[in-house]
């Protein structure tokens, strides 16, 4: 009998989810077990001091909710505190460059740590297991070590484009961090070598014994606050105590007769619905998959949604987001007509100086009773900070806030930054059809969009859909992966598009998906990561 399926970017984490399903846990239990292992074996993509969004569908309980746990700016921030340090903006809109990189590396980069409390609350609301029991595999990998995989090593050794810190700095800038990730000779571990983190094992074991409150109000919280005070950090006791997720109804849209449920702002689901509303006006299948017409049309929808995100979308607790307008079919119709007339949308950027890194991960789980959990969680970008003796790295999510006051993404105490996280579920005739999500910074919504189109327009399986070549347009430049045909690139250039070919064959988000057809499951794990999709 099939107990369900898990798709995620790390084999160790998938196995933990599968074992949870085999032991009688539901999809939410499996997703949490997977996520906890992810925080250990992919410690710069995510962490217990990160943030994210969980989308749960539990038909037998009549539940369909999003548990949103977006990181919040510390209460100590002020809107204008970094305005004088502004240097530029990343080309894809995923972060601002400041003098001294104070928003990117170090204690000033950290927003409230949300993930651990969110995972615990998810189990209380939707699961059947205790978080302490599900921590056992994560503790094992922290104590005994995990083998460095290709994607982990590639990230550690990546040197981003102009204006961004080499990723090795995240791992070596702080002494406590350097002792975990660097060998005695100062080099980072290579593919196949083992990384052990006994301090993180001790932290997880303490939480297992005493509960999640120990992290937010107990001895661990005291150590966090003391470390922040000692190093000029902005996080305080009130930030930890106020780090609580929010429960929201899904944001709904439709496409070709399918119902789409996704998350609300400050998540990225709104962009997904807006783009699909625009693209519904075109016969994409007739254009042909990844043809010049297809890429140009979809890319223009991406650019339009990006401009709307930059100028109109932020934390709804601080920004009046025109949600009804941006998700309406009436709003999309004239935008589609602009594309049909051949108009090109320009995406304004401030002194663009290159791409921000994309440091996130995802898990999708489905069980035998039809419960679905699709969750994206992340560090945003890693801050590089580890408190001595605690072992985990804090998020670096302050890098995306706009240092200029008076804008949707500007700094404010307790405010969440926009994130492209968009864990989504598609329904056909009221029944779940496709559950998916992705890591990838501003690429997330764009990757999810293309996988949906691959499945709906071109009849691909989940595996085929996540493996197909992708492209991205979150700036005036059209980015393509190396498997997009050069003849197609030449035609796009002829039409006046600046095109940048990337050396990677798999890029622009790392989509993971499970498709449900006639009671059968088929899954896809993005080949650009190291993971797998497997049923048990």
For residue 254, indicate whether it is catalytic.
Answer: no
Residues 26 and 367: beta-carbon distance below 8 Å: yes
CA separation, residue 502 to residues 147, 182, 489 (Å):
28, 29, 12
Residues 207 and 213: beta-carbon distance below 8 Å: no
Element (H, E) at 246: strand 246-248
For 499, the token pair is 């095109």
Count of CB atoms situated within 10 Å of the CB of 117: 21
**Angle at CA 450, nearest 5°, toward 446 and 451?**
120
For residue 400, the Cα-to-chain-centroid distance in whole angstroms is: 13
Catalytic residue among 115, 360, 361, 381: 360
Contacts 24+ apart (CB under 8 A), 455-459: 455/513, 455/515, 456/255, 456/256, 456/258, 456/426, 457/256, 457/284, 457/285, 457/289, 458/285, 458/289
DSSP of 39-103, one letter per residue?
Answer: HHHSTTT--TB-EEEEEEEEGGGTEEEEEEE--B--TT--TTTTGGGEEEE-TTSS-EEEGGGTT
CA pair distance 294, 289, nearest whole angstrom: 7
CA pair distance 337, 323, nearest whole angstrom: 21
Q: Which residues contact 416 (CB under 8 A, 6 or more apart)?
A: 70, 71, 72, 73, 111, 266, 315, 317
Q: Residues in the chain, how many?
A: 536
Q: Which residues contact 94 (CB under 8 A, 6 or more apart)?
A: 355, 356, 358, 400, 441, 442
Residues acting as catalytic residues: 360
């Amino acid at each position: 009998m099939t107990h369900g399926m898990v798709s995620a970017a790390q084999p160790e984490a998938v196995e933990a989810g599968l074992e949870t399903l085999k032991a009688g846990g539901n999809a939410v239990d499996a997703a949490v077990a997977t996520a906890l292992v992810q925080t250990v074996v992919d410690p710069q993509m995510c962490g217990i001091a990160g943030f994210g969004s969980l989308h749960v569908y539990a038909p037998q309980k009549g539940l369909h909710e999003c548990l949103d746990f977006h990181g919040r700016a510390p209460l100590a921030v002020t809107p204008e505190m970094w305005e004088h340090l502004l240097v530029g903006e990343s080309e894809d809109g995923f972060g601002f460059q400041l003098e001294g990189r104070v928003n990117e590396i170090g204690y000033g980069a950290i927003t409230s740590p949300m993930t651990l409390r969110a995972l615990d609350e998810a189990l209380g609301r939707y699961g059947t297991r205790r978080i302490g029991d599900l921590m056992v595999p994560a503790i094992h990998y922290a104590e005994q070590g995990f083998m460095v995989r290709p994607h982990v090593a590639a990230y550690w050794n990546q040197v981003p484009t102009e204006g961004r810190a080499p990723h090795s700095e995240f791992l070596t800038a702080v002494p406590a961090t350097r002792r975990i990730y660097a060998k005695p000779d100062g080099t980072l571990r290579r593919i196949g070598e083992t990384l052990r983190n006994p301090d993180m094992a001790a932290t997880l074991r303490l939480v297992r014994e005493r509960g999640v409150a120990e992290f937010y109000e107990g001895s661990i919280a005291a150590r966090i606050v003391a470390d922040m005070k000692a190093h000029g950090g902005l996080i305080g006791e009130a930030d930890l105590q106020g780090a609580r997720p929010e429960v929201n109804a899904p944001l709904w849209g439709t496409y070709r007769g399918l119902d789409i449920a996704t998350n609300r702002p400050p998540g990225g689901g709104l962009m997904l619905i807006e783009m699909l509303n625009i693209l519904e006006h075109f016969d994409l299948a007739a254009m042909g998959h990844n043809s010049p017409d297809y890429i140009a049309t979809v890319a223009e929808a991406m650019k339009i949604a990006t401009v709307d995100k930059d100028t109109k979308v932020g934390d709804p607790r601080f920004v009046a987001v025109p949600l009804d307008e941006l998700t309406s079919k009436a709003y999309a119709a004239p935008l589609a007509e602009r594309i049909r007339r051949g108009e090109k949308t320009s995406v304004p950027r401030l002194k663009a100086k290159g791409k921000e890194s994309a440091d996130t991960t995802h898990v999708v789980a489905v069980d035998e009773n039809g419960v679905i959990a699709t969750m994206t969680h992340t560090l945003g970008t890693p801050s590089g900070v580890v408190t001595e003796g605690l072992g985990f790295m804090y998020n670096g999510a302050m890098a995306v806030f706009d240092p200029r006051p008076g804008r949707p993404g500007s700094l404010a105490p307790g405010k969440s930054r926009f994130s492209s996280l968009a864990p989504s579920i598609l329904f056909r005739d009221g029944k779940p059809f496709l559950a998916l999500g992705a890591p990838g910074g501003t690429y997330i919504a764009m990757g999810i969009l293309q996988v949906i189109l691959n499945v709906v327009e071109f009849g691909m399986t989940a595996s085929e859909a996540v493996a197909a070549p992708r492209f991205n347009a979150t700036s005036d430049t059209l980015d393509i992966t190396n498997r997009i045909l050069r003849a197609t690139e030449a035609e796009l250039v002829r039409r006046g598009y600046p095109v940048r070919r990337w050396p990677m064959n798999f890029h622009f988000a790392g989509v993971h998906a499970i498709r449900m057809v006639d009671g059968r499951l088929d899954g896809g794990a993005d080949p650009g990561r190291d993971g797998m999709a497997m049923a048990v």
